[in-house]
Amino acid sequence: MQGIRVKFIEGIKRTATIESFRFAAAGGVDFEAGQFLQLIFDEANPSNKVLNKYLSFSCAPGKDYIEVTKRLSESSFSVRLRSLKAGDEVFIKAPLGSCVFRSDYRKIAFLIGGIGITPVISIIEHIATAKIPTDAVLFYSNRSEEEIAFKEELDSWAESNSNIRVIYTVTDCPPRRKNCIYGRIDESMLSDKLGDISERIVFIFGPPKMVEAMQGLCLKLSCSKDNIKTESFIGY
């Protein structure tokens, strides 16, 4: 892990409440798909949890920029992100985290809710662009179709890579699209759509309660504890 300065390039709207932020770093940032960084607005007080937060990389490694994505609120941190202008410098510490993709994983699955999609984007884009033959299945749950972030990118990667499959679920209203299921990710859905889940490395990212619930489902479906990789997102 090292501390470096990066320059803000642009913001990209993903949904009404979720936005991506891209930065350039001289010499690049060396990270693995699935890792995260700490973005530090208050350098004088590194322990300031209000202005210094952890964000997952939401792009594949090896690009000429790095990207993070956040569900924005009225918090001081979100306000600072929104106020960034092209060329502004910010301080980051990276890379962080050990819940990462390995190219020798032959079969993987993701059980994801909401903003937990960010590290998944890093992993799936890496698989897609590097043409890694890993069989990857993503279950991605949101309240409504309008809240599905990165849908265009996920659909494109799935269409151009036969080893990538994306299953959307929504919980607040019946979906309009044929590849979207109404309901929560549960034992019945996983058994029906992914009969070999016990053979896969399973990544679970999201709020602590969802992570705990998805872990429980995996254990019920005979997944090995060693094959369940989790990261709880706190403070979003």
CATH code for position 49: 2.40.30.10
Q: Model confidence at 173, in pLDDT bands (50, 70, 90)?
A: confident
Give the pLDDT mean for 172-198: 89
Average pLDDT, the chain: 94
Assess if residue 102 is contained within a domain.
no
Residues 40 and 125 in one domain: no
Residues 52 and 116 in one domain: no
* Domain span holding position 8: 2-96
Q: Model confidence at 1, in pLDDT bands (50, 70, 90)?
A: low
How many structural domains is the chain composed of? 2
Q: What is the pLDDT of residues 58-71, one digit of tens each?
A: 999 999 999 999 99
DSSP 68: E
Residues 115 and 180 in one domain: yes
Q: How far apart are CA 115 and CA 132, in angstroms?
A: 25
Q: What is the pLDDT of residues 197-213, one digit of tens each?
A: 999 999 999 889 989 99
pLDDT of res. 175: 81
pTM for this prediction? 0.95
Closest CA to 202 of 188, 221, 182, 189: 221
Q: What is the pLDDT of residues 123-153, one digit of tens each?
A: 999 999 999 999 999 999 999 999 999 999 9
Ranking 35-49, 146-160, 167-181 by mean pLDDT, the lowest is 167-181
The angle that helices 151-160 and 117-129 make with each other, rounded to 10 degrees, is: 30
Assess if residue 226 is contained within a domain.
yes
**How many percent of the chain have pLDDT more than 70?**
98
Residues 111 and 228 in one domain: yes
pLDDT of res. 235: 55
Residues 37 and 111 in one domain: no
pLDDT of res. 232: 84
104 Cβ partners below 8 Å, 6+ apart? Answer: none
Contact indicator for 33, 101 with CB cutoff of 8 Å: yes
DSSP 123: H
Residues 152 and 187 in one domain: yes
